[in-house]
Amino acid sequence: MNRESEPRPENGDEMLNISQVRSEVFKATFARYHRVLYLVAYRVLFNHGDAGHAVQSFFLAASNNVPQFDCEGSFRSWLLRGLIDEALAILHKNRSRATPCSGSCSGPILDPA
């Protein structure tokens, strides 16, 4: 069959198809890795809300950075490393917002030993 006789999709149609494919891949990836990524984020942050936020933020960022994925490595490892970086950034942000006690704190000081 001659390729010239085949109907060619309009640019808008091609963009719609690419968008739909990206959306389906994103959903499948999220469904496959969400639980393990959430558990890792929770182990870093020890907070359910922050862990969920880390996973959501990471997935949004990762969906835009998939072209930067090095095909030589493991996709799962790439996801885990990116999530850990996101969780550590949230942990650092939370710690920098915490205000240290200025000597007016009441209560006993507990010895961790």
pLDDT number for residue 13? 65
Report how far residue 73's alpha carbon sits from residue 75's, in angstroms, rounded to the nearest whole number: 6
pLDDT number for residue 22? 73
| 56: exposed, middle or buried (Cβ count in 10 Å: 0-12, 13-18, 19+) | middle
What percentage of the chain reaches a pLDDT higher than 90? 38
Q: Which of 23-32, 47-56, 77-86, 94-103 has the lowest mean pLDDT?
A: 94-103
Structure tokens at 99: 């205000």
User: What is the SS3 assignment for 72?
Assistant: coil
pLDDT digits (tens, 9 = 90+) for 14-67: 666 777 777 788 789 889 999 999 999 999 999 999 999 999 999 988 887 776
> All domains of the chain, ordered by start, with CATH?
30-96 (1.10.1740.10)
